[in-house]
Structure 1
């Protein structure tokens, strides 16, 4: 399209393209101007492959990226405005961030202080909780995919390889996406991947940001793969009080990593200046069952302010604390995509990222795949054996040399099962046998999404629909089982428990005061379930 004799690229009849901001494996990002709303945006152009099959694979992946991010409304998650098909290509129109990537910031000015790192970590943790509540995983959390606003607030971006929990993987057999040094070991060994995998990546990111060195930095992709799967992380001294947090998050076993609530409390202590972050028990440990907030995905976790932390412009120190709030009008020259990864962090089986040479960065060199595949199978076999040994230990305990006399005290017995809760049904039993008096019960969200209005509202996670979507159903408030929480919230009830029906959210823990049956359901009454869709999977653990 031309205007006044000058060539003007106009996408979707409203987005006027400007200069290129960066290029990556998934596409090219352009500065653009939204003529309809008179604002600057970022437009991500999906790369066109040479053959139709590859193009459609990329198209599906980009649609997945946009859908995953568009479902999340959080000040520290990049906003997606629009999807446009133009000239047989897909364009994702996003919020324009007016600052560099965290990787660029560290490369230019050096590592951040532990307090500053903890403050940014709190923001990223809140962003991840919102993403997980929407039923999505990021899968590529690293400094290069975190942008900084002018006020210093962090924004999680580049969902190019994110995968929705309720969709099958789009990666081909043997293909790994993302930077190896920031990928959880279960991703490298084809085990079940969930929110703890993103928390692992957050831990690796915190260590790299506070020290300048990724914890699994190796000269080759195969060596990094081996290090992530088998080796202990290298955590420099300058990480300081963040060390216990990083070590807990980088536990090789997902089940032994702390919960997001525990990590948030520890990060807040460090951000406030404490030298001891406090205890970091595994997510399933006693005492680690905080009540889930009755919140929407937009405010699942508190958004911290960088009070009493150093300024983002000076290396190692902050003097004027910015307060990250909701996204604001942007006027500066942003940097979006194309930011460097920290030195020594190889990538595996991902298209090389090409950075504008004007920015002073070199494109990373391609890595071979043969040796990495060797480690893939080695890592998978070793970790499977380790997982089996661990499972036998926890299921049966260590070997005993006794004869099992009845008068010998027996350890508590724990049973764990996964339960699917259907949005189109009412109360559903979550236990195969009645719970006994004194049993400790944990209900923890695992995966899946649902909606109470499949024709008009998006799929959401266990904390239910957003405040805006919940308000749109005000006319049907009589359909709520629990009027104090949004439609779509996961609910539970058990005889004698105060607050029935209880808002389970992501986790619920209680001790039974009488025998009974645990029941779960969606926050939507009988007679109102016809337009419901989807299901959640939860893990129910009972300790006798």
Structure 2
């Protein structure tokens, strides 16, 4: 891709490409320089198939994405500048947000406090109101599609699967776009999706940001589909005062979810430090969601742009959310609670499912719409059986197998705990995580502290213990069979193994706890097999706690 025979990669005669910023299911984003206006921009190269039908389908989708975002003027919605066709490729030229996405921020530094999460939630709510006022749905709200500016402000991006309400659907039959764990249940069935669907995704995002664990994270896509459609969300205690908001937004029935105004009032209370977010009554039918004027949506009081997360009132008059006190001064999250000061690790109870990937990247789930009523009896029966099995497994891992010495005597030895730090190198295979063997009966806890790595330093970005995004993992599909140690999790996921532990090699993610049923040595590594490690880079730091 050259211009004038030189080595400068130039598209549209004016945008000089730089380094790659990220890659997802819909395309690759590059840093670029607009030579005409002398400014840095982001250029998104859309994936285009070779056949004509697919090319035109993606062309229409790209035009829709550009048109949708260009209609929205809001400080927390990414700005679109241009749509370019160049060398049989499609490019969307956008505002450059020079910061990480929210999923990467959490993977690197841990979950945010409830107050910080609520402040970001207000920004995103204002962005969604502006999108809805423009007659569009985002349809893919999740941490990976939220960029963070240097001042800490959030920017909603990646409208690659947004659907204009007054335009034909471009989704092929049976195709589900978006990340399953953040998709409202009505999008998985034949029900109509509307603004409440985006609010559902916002609720799932708030829970994931404040806890580090998506509320419908499951080991397989099928299990995630069932969880979104039928199961209650798993909301960790760390979510704190956000819990009532998340629970209300994740109601299975769209007409039972609160309105944007109600959610805004509740989020503002939490951002102000309240432990009770206030009442969250349902908005009624989806048609009851107000169509906010685009101008008003862009000047809401929940716009937060400064490093101290200050909410700026409208330039014309102070804007007060229903149920919130009238602001007399700019709203500021003052003090250490405004931002996470140290990386936070999510506690993982022994025997419970490991936290899943927070960054699903731009991967697209696939599935079919289902009748909600079909199979309920079967699911309840199967669920009861699984619950009994899970309880038995939990007791086994919590207390271990019966011991000949369990006589309940008063002379039993008191437990002692030792904690050590270990660094796991991406370019090495299995690495010992302890200097001494673990003994039978010891309780072991492995927790991620910091660090990033990649299994393809030339093409893939650095990631945390959850591994590469679904889209980046899919780009290496050709190597799954020969290079993956654990085929069930993405490349780069942190793996652990210990003799006798079910599920070896075990996906550690951010935390892993178990009780040793025999003596042995704990080993850790990245999910990349020997013979494929030459292009790996980076390392993770973890703590290993052993209670004897």
Q: TM-score category by the smaller chain? A: 0.5 to 0.7
Q: How far did residue 366 of structure 1 move?
A: 5.5
- Aligned position for 2:462: 359
- Aligned position for 1:302: 302
Classify 1:50/1:341 alpha carbon distance in 2 versus 1 (closer, same or farther; 3 Å).
Answer: farther
Distance 2:17 2:29 in 1: 10
More displaced 10-residue stretch of structure 1: 103-112 or 87-96: 87-96
Distance 1:179 1:195 in 2: 17
Distance 2:292 2:71 in 1: 20
Q: How does 1:330-345 map to 2 (within 5 A)?
A: 341-342=358-359
Distance 2:362 2:235 in 1: 15
Distance 2:254 2:366 in 1: 24
- Aligned position for 2:523: none
Q: How far did residue 362 of structure 1 move?
A: 2.6
Between 1 and 2, higher relative CO (CA 8 Å, sep ≥ 6) is seen in 1
- Aligned position for 2:282: 282
| 2:117/2:209 contact within 8 Å kept | yes
Classify 1:293/1:133 alpha carbon distance in 2 versus 1 (closer, same or farther; 3 Å).
Answer: closer
Q: How does 1:207-226 map to 2 (within 5 A)?
A: 207-226=207-226
SS in 2 for 1:223: helix
Q: How far did residue 32 of structure 1 move?
A: 0.4
Distance 1:38 1:294 in 2: 30
Classify 1:316/1:210 alpha carbon distance in 2 versus 1 (closer, same or farther; 3 Å).
Answer: farther
Classify 1:127/1:222 alpha carbon distance in 2 versus 1 (closer, same or farther; 3 Å).
Answer: same
More displaced 10-residue stretch of structure 1: 167-176 or 293-302: 293-302
Classify 1:114/1:137 alpha carbon distance in 2 versus 1 (closer, same or farther; 3 Å).
Answer: same
Q: How far did residue 55 of structure 1 move?
A: 1.1
| 2:138/2:161 contact within 8 Å kept | yes
- Aligned position for 1:406: none
**Residues 184-223 of structure 1: per-residue CA shift (max 9 Å, x gap):** 0000002101000000000000000000000001000000
Distance 1:86 1:2 in 2: 11
SS in 1 for 2:226: helix
- Aligned position for 2:47: 47
Distance 2:78 2:8 in 1: 27
Q: How far did residue 357 of structure 1 move?
A: 2.6
2:365 counterpart of 1:348: yes
Classify 1:16/1:311 alpha carbon distance in 2 versus 1 (closer, same or farther; 3 Å).
Answer: farther
2:341 counterpart of 1:314: yes
Q: How far did residue 314 of structure 1 move?
A: 3.5
Q: How far did residue 295 of structure 1 move?
A: 4.0
| 1:126/1:302 contact within 8 Å kept | yes
Q: How does 1:153-164 map to 2 (within 5 A)?
A: 153-164=153-164
**Residues 431-461 of structure 1: per-residue CA shift (max 9 Å, x gap):** xxxxxxxxxxxxxxxxxxxxxxxxxxxxxxx
Return the TM-score normalized by structure 1. Answer: 0.59
2:290 counterpart of 1:273: no
**Residues 282-315 of structure 1: per-residue CA shift (max 9 Å, x gap):** 0139xx9999679444235631462225465734
Distance 1:158 1:261 in 2: 24
- Aligned position for 2:498: none
Structure 2 residues not aligned, in runs of 5+: 310-331, 345-356, 368-455, 478-548
**Residues 512-542 of structure 1: per-residue CA shift (max 9 Å, x gap):** xxxxxxxxxxxxxxxxxxxxxxxxxxxxxxx
Distance 1:31 1:366 in 2: 23
2:174 counterpart of 1:174: yes
- Aligned position for 1:235: 235
Distance 2:165 2:136 in 1: 6
Distance 1:22 1:148 in 2: 14
- Aligned position for 2:121: 121
| 2:81/2:94 contact within 8 Å kept | yes
Distance 2:11 2:339 in 1: 35
Distance 1:244 1:31 in 2: 40
SS in 2 for 1:16: strand
Structure 1 residues not aligned, in runs of 5+: 318-339, 369-544
Aligned residues: 341
Distance 1:270 1:131 in 2: 24
Classify 1:148/1:344 alpha carbon distance in 2 versus 1 (closer, same or farther; 3 Å).
Answer: closer
Q: How far did residue 124 of structure 1 move?
A: 0.1
Q: How far did residue 169 of structure 1 move?
A: 1.1
- Aligned position for 1:138: 138
Distance 1:132 1:57 in 2: 24
Classify 1:165/1:257 alpha carbon distance in 2 versus 1 (closer, same or farther; 3 Å).
Answer: same
Classify 1:37/1:167 alpha carbon distance in 2 versus 1 (closer, same or farther; 3 Å).
Answer: same
- Aligned position for 1:165: 165
Classify 1:139/1:345 alpha carbon distance in 2 versus 1 (closer, same or farther; 3 Å).
Answer: closer
Return the TM-score normalized by structure 2. Answer: 0.58
Distance 1:251 1:268 in 2: 21
SS in 1 for 2:276: coil
Q: How far did residue 128 of structure 1 move?
A: 0.1
Distance 1:294 1:20 in 2: 33
SS in 1 for 2:298: helix
| 1:210/1:239 contact within 8 Å kept | yes
| 1:122/1:267 contact within 8 Å kept | yes
Cα RMSD for the two superposed structures: 2.9
Distance 1:125 1:268 in 2: 11
| 1:122/1:303 contact within 8 Å kept | yes
SS in 2 for 1:204: helix
Distance 2:170 2:294 in 1: 33
Distance 1:245 1:264 in 2: 10
Classify 1:161/1:294 alpha carbon distance in 2 versus 1 (closer, same or farther; 3 Å).
Answer: closer
| 1:224/1:346 contact within 8 Å kept | no
- Aligned position for 1:249: 249
